Amino acid sequence: METFGLENLGIINIGKVHRNLSPARLVEEALRRGEGSLTNTGAIAVTTGKYTGRSPKDKFIVDTKDIHDSIAWGSVNVPMPEDTYTKIKEKMFSYLQQKELYIFDGFAGADEKYTRKFRIVNELAVQNLFIHQLLIRPDKAQLENYGEADFTIVAAPGFQCDPKVDGTNSEAAILVNFSERLVLIAGTKYSGEIKKSVFSIMNYLMPVEANVLPMHCSANMDPETEETAVFFGLSGTGKTTLSADPARKLIGDDEHGWSEDGIFNFEGGCYAKCINLRPENEPEIYQAIRFGSECENVVVDPETGVPDYDDESITENTRVGYPIDYIDNAQIPGKGGIPKVVIFLTADAFGVLPPIARLDEKAAMYHFVTGFTSKLAGTERGIQEPQPTFSTLFGEPFMPLDASVYAEMLGERIRKYQTKVYLVNTGWSGGPYGVGSRMKLSYTRAMVTAALNGEFDNVEYRHDDVFNVDVPQSCAGVPSEIMNPKDTWSDKAAYDESAKKLAKMFEDNFAKKYPNMPEEIKNAGPKSN
């Protein structure tokens, strides 16, 4: 029996091993093992138990000599001693003895110059289906000549750590060992941990080995001019929705690299939120939920198999994973030219940021490292008003190197290629959350389209002194009063107070997290006084 190098990892006495099964076979296996059920669309629906999202407090990087000085250690990149890791690995691999395992050998990086080979070993067939659809799938010849993987990820949700014995924070653990080129994922069925582990690894390898800027962003391109745009944004800001534009080719929805040749997708699939999904608002995503897709924590009627995308009783973080070719206008392979436009998306629940603003190079670097959006009142216990969320580089949990490394790479590319950068607020207008209303998607689409088409090159701008950005005063398809948020507030004094309050939050966050950033970048941010 072929074991595909598992014995070299330390997994011996191996049970049955399946390698690169087709989606149909993986669905069959998952149903046979009782891991999920089919919906009326043909997608397989699963529940992930206790963990319905990523578990950032359970992620560790193994502190080895060769990478110790290059990692930005702290509350996000938390070190684990080698001996602690080794003990967990031995116990986890002992647990996997005689288990039926599923292997997917795939690729990350659509540009062959920078492709890395990832071997994913799964205890669950449904998780193997997920990663089969999310990574780039090898053809028959590539699989036959696959050789050794550059990195291996082993996901065993049935193995649970003992925090008192293993030095973890819970029964779950995500352990990244750059020296062994190995990731262990224990105690969680949430498939996003596998996907984001690939991203974290690429975020280390690409700058260090290839001078490629890794980006937590979506990307699309004009099918005629092939001009490319990238969209940065945290969850809920509209990154996936806005990049899935039927008038443009979708390069990818989440993870990309920016090389000297252009941009390229790290993945071969999409992982979209399902909550409140509507065919009229997000037709591309809605139609991609079919056989071969994996729905996580979506409530499904047990009699009819009909999903209820409005039901958040399991979690608001309902998800679907599908291959990118389920999107009709996908760009395959996922490569595009040098970005003409960069969009930073934020959902400002304070209702004070402009709906769109132009950023110069230094302001772009400031907002890149800041990564602002806001949590809403009522979404978590104890939150009575909007709470700011600052996620470095719009992907803080996945960035192993110091923020300045990535920021300087972005700044250098903006300078070199004269890329235009805009900050787009998809949050509230006319007042804060609870008073105002969410920015209409049609308005946001109109502004993004104008940015991509160069329509803001020749319009009047107003400088916003508080947020230190230039705000275009007109946009086709958008009422003029929407362009300046203060004009949409009935209480102008309340707007001024809220704007200065948010600006002070920006200042405090920057001073705390980036004390060594150059003054010119610091000075490009908001000003509360």
3-state secondary structure of 96: coil
In the set 59, 116, 181, 196, the catalytic residue is 196
DSSP 430-464: SSSTTTSEEPPHHHHHHHHHHHHTTGGGGS-EEEE
Has 235 been annotated as catalytic? yes
d(Cα 188, Cα 47) in Å, to the nearest integer?
A: 11
Annotated catalytic residue, options 89, 189, 319, 335: 319
- Catalytic annotation, pick one of 119, 181, 239, 413: 239
Q: From the candidates 54, 59, 116, 273, give the one annotated as an active-site residue.
A: 54
Residue 391 appears among annotated catalytic residues: no
Catalytic residue from among 63, 111, 254, 464: 254
Positive or negative: CA dihedral 290, 294, 299, 304: positive
**Choosing from 216, 273, 340, 367, which is the catalytic residue?**
216
* CA neighbor of 396 nearest in space, from 150, 59, 127: 59
Farthest CA pair distance, the chain: 74
* SS3 labels along 288-353: HCCCCCEEECCEECCCCCCEECCCCCCCCCCEEEEEHHHCCCECCCCEECCEEEEEEEECCCCCCC
Is 513 catalytic? The answer is no
**CA gap 398, 396 in Å, rounded:** 5
In the residue annotation, 216 being an active-site residue is answered as yes
79-80 and 59-62 beta bridge pairing: parallel
In degrees rounded to 5, what are phi and psi of residue 491?
-105, 95
Is 319 considered catalytic here? yes
Backbone angles phi, psi at 165, to 5 degrees: -95, -40
Query: Is 255 within 8 Å of 240 (Cβ atoms)?
Result: no
> Six-digit token pair at 358?
């132009």
Q: Is 116 a catalytic site residue?
A: no
- Secondary-structure breakdown of the chain: helix, strand, coil percentages, each rounded to the nearest 5: 30, 25, 45
Is 239 catalytic? The answer is yes
DSSP code of 133?
H
79-80 vs 307-308, strand pairing mode? unpaired
Is residue 170 packed enough to be buried (19+ CB in 10 Å), middle (13-18) or exposed (0-12)?
A: middle
Give the tokens for residue 390: 């600052």
User: 217-246: string of b/e by CB count within 10 Å (b at 16+)?
Assistant: bbbbbbeeeebbbbbbbbebbbbbbbbbbe
> What's the one-letter identity of residue 40?
N
Given the residues 240, 315, 346, 370, select the one marked as catalytic.
240
Catalytic residue ranges: 54, 196, 216, 235, 239-240, 254, 319
